[in-house]
Amino acid sequence: MSAAADTKEQVAALGEKYKYGFVTDIEMERAPKGLSEDTVKFISAKKGEPEWMLDWRLGAFRRWSEMTEPNWARVHYPKIDYQDAYYYAAPKAPEKKLSLDEVDPKLLETYAKLGIPLSEQKMLAGVAVDAVFDSVSVATTFKAKLNEAGVIFCPMSEAIRDYPDMVRKYLGTVVPVSDNFFATLNSAVFSDGTFVYVPKGVRCPMELSTYFRINASNTGQFERTLIIADEGSYVSYLEGCTAPMRDENQLHAAVVELVALEGAEIKYSTVQNWYPGDENGKGGIYNFVTKRGDCRGARSKISWTQVETGSAITWKYPSCILRGDDTVGEFYSIAIANHYQQADTGTKMIHLGKNTRSRIISKGISAGKAQNTYRGLVSVHPKAVNARNYTQCDSLLIGGKCGAHTVPYIESRNSSARIEHEATTSKIAEDQLFYCLQRGISQDEAVSLIVNGFCREVLQQLPMEFAVEAQKLVGISLEGSVG
């Protein structure tokens, strides 16, 4: 049995053990196993896609066939057998729903700690939700409000059907089809994702969140997201969820493209808390993500905020191309790796335009036997007069068996550039813990408090309603990491 299939089984087995809402025996419509032109055609046909989309996918597949998996990141995992996996599996009939009594109490405990309302807990755990479920009406209200503002917020498959011109104009213009191994794979087989368009001068009336997009609440294995903020518009997008999401796919390779036109601003926040594997490093999601934003118009701004606590492997570098003059790129990151988790994450700030500014604040926390790497590129091109970058990378170690690594790449081809890089590494000190314990704070709560303090600058960037949950999540992901 291949390593990939092996891990996949282990994930499934663990899901069974913890009853993380994994559902067996669902009638699935599956693409043939393995990856070939036929698989790609099958997926495209299933989605009823136009020919241009199929051609685009096939082009990607052909390129991917000639590519090799990158190995420069500081992550180690058994070789993935791409022919020993399914690339399309849609539930045929409505999913068999669990009742609340069948859900693992441990999972519900986590939800309770996060303060998630019961109705949402049910949805997250895959429990059948009754007709009066709040979010449905919430979603409807939201839709009406968005329509009024002219904002398009829909699944990618719908956008391909209903807004083909826009999709064709922007898809693959930020992350080209041939960008990298995982992005190319995504281009060939992406399952679904989100499409957002904010018209000129419109300030999106609410935070957009996949959380409320009920019809696509199950995160796909190969998500494709495209957000376009037209001139002078503003949008804030929240991705993911602090609760551990049920997911039976081992390999994830999402692509997110952001386009900010003149004077537009996009704020993109992520909380990623997928299954990290057990405390012995068995199972867990492999998360290979390509996220990039293009500040295409002058004075536009793109800001990434991420809280990465889940997945066995995180390989992710949300980046900004500062193409327009006077554009701003920001990256705020918290990456927590516990037990045997491996995180290699950071950003790329590509300064092309004049007076472009970028800011990178990265907080890496390692515990257990985890390895946590910050990898970032700041590149100033010859025409980027007066480019400015400030980078701050702080690492916090808990215990003596984990690792923190900082790998900054700095390229400057314009002498007017000013680039600052600060880095620190610290440990949770025994005297800090003792001080907290002496004041009545338990070990886990003390770690949570100290780590939240360490992450404060990044947590402050999150939208309010997310920040509270994220703070709790930081504590929960590190429970039992000391002593």
Partner 1 sequence: MLEIKNLHVAVGGKEILKGLTLSVAEGEVHAIMGPNGSGKSTLSYVLAGREGYEITQGSISYRGEDLATMKTEDRAARGVFLAMQYPVEIPGVTTLTFLKTALNAQRRARGDSELDAMSVLKLVRQKATALQVSEEMLKRALNVGFYGGEKKRLEILQMAIFEPALAILDETYSGLDIDALKLVAEGVNALRAPERAMLVITHYQRLLNYIVPDRVHVLAGGRIVAEGGKELAHELEAKGYAHVVKEPA
Question: Least separation, in Å, of the C-beta of 444 and partner 1?
Answer: 10
Question: Least separation, in Å, of the C-beta of 392 and partner 1?
Answer: 13
Q: Which stretch binds partner 1 (CB under 8 A): 160-168, 273-281, 353-361, 446-454?
A: 446-454
Which lies closer to partner 1 via its Cβ, residue 2 or residue 432? 432
Q: Is position 464 an interface residue for partner 1 (rule: CB under 8 A)? A: no
Taking CB under 8 A as the criterion, the residue among 140, 413, 456, 480 binding partner 1 is 456
Which lies closer to partner 1 via its Cβ, residue 36 or residue 443? 443
Question: Least separation, in Å, of the C-beta of 339 and partner 1?
Answer: 23
- Please report, as a single letter, which amino acid is at residue 117: P
Question: Least separation, in Å, of the C-beta of 449 and partner 1?
Answer: 6
Taking CB under 8 A as the criterion, the residue among 24, 71, 280, 438 binding partner 1 is 438
Q: Is position 115 an interface residue for partner 1 (rule: CB under 8 A)? A: no
Q: Is position 480 an interface residue for partner 1 (rule: CB under 8 A)? A: no
Question: Taking CB under 8 A as the rule, which mask of x and - marks residues 331-360 in contact with partner 1?
Answer: ------------------------------
Q: Which stretch binds partner 1 (CB under 8 A): 68-76, 103-111, 179-187, 451-459?
A: 451-459
Q: Which stretch binds partner 1 (CB under 8 A): 175-183, 209-217, 301-309, 443-451?
A: 443-451
Q: Which stretch binds partner 1 (CB under 8 A): 157-165, 186-194, 404-412, 435-443?
A: 435-443
Which lies closer to partner 1 via its Cβ, residue 146 or residue 436? 436
Question: Least separation, in Å, of the C-beta of 438 and partner 1?
Answer: 5
Q: Which stretch binds partner 1 (CB under 8 A): 140-148, 168-176, 242-250, 442-450?
A: 442-450
Which lies closer to partner 1 via its Cβ, residue 66 or residue 430? 430
Q: Tell me which residues in 390-429 interact with partner 1 (CB under 8 A).
A: 429
Taking CB under 8 A as the criterion, the residue among 179, 445, 468, 475 binding partner 1 is 445
Q: Is position 439 an interface residue for partner 1 (rule: CB under 8 A)? A: yes
Q: Tell me which residues in 226-245 interact with partner 1 (CB under 8 A).
A: none
Q: H/E/C letters for each residue in the chain?
A: CCHHHHHHHHHHHHHHHHCCCCCCCCCEEECCCCCCHHHHHHHHHHCCCCHHHHHHHHHHHHHHHCCCCCCCCCCCCCCCCCCCCCCCEEECCCCCCECHHHCCHHHHHHHHHHCCCHHHHHHHHCECCCCCCHHHHHHHHHHHHHHHHCCEEEEHHHHHHHCHHHHHHHCCCCCCCCCCHHHHHHHHHCCEEEEEEECCCCECCCCEEHHHCHHHCCCCCCEEEEEEECCCCEEEEEEECCCCCCCCCCEECCEEEEEECCCCEEEEEEEECCCCCCCCCCCCCEEEEEEEEEECCCCCEEEEEEEECCCCEEEECCEEEECCCCCEEEEEEEEEECCCCEEEEEEEEEECCCCCEEEEEEEEEECCCCEEEEEEEEEECCCCCCCEEEEEEEEEECCCCCEEEEEEEEEECCCCCEEEEEEEEEECCHHHHHHHHHCCCCHHHHHHHHHHHHCHHHHCCCCHHHHHHHHHHHHHHCCCCCC
Distances (CA, A) of 455 to 178, 329, 335, 347, 365: 35, 20, 10, 17, 9
Q: Is position 79 an interface residue for partner 1 (rule: CB under 8 A)? A: no
How many residues bind to partner 1 according to rule CB under 8 A? 23
Question: Least separation, in Å, of the C-beta of 450 and partner 1?
Answer: 6
Q: Is position 431 an interface residue for partner 1 (rule: CB under 8 A)? A: yes
Q: Is position 112 an interface residue for partner 1 (rule: CB under 8 A)? A: no
Which lies closer to partner 1 via its Cβ, residue 124 or residue 446? 446
Taking CB under 8 A as the criterion, the residue among 214, 441, 463, 479 binding partner 1 is 441
The distance of Cα 123 from the centroid of its chain, to the nearest Å, equals 20
Phi, psi of 477 (to 5 degrees): -70, -15
Among 435, 431, 468, 430, smallest CA distance to 452 is for: 468
Question: Least separation, in Å, of the C-beta of 446 and partner 1?
Answer: 9
Q: Is position 437 an interface residue for partner 1 (rule: CB under 8 A)? A: yes
Q: Is position 436 an interface residue for partner 1 (rule: CB under 8 A)? A: yes
Contact 399, 367 (CB under 8 A): yes
Taking CB under 8 A as the criterion, the residue among 300, 454, 473, 481 binding partner 1 is 454
- Burial of 407 from C-beta contacts in 10 A (0-12 / 13-18 / 19+): middle
Q: Which residues bind partner 1 (CB under 8 A)?
A: 429-432, 434-443, 445, 449-450, 452-457
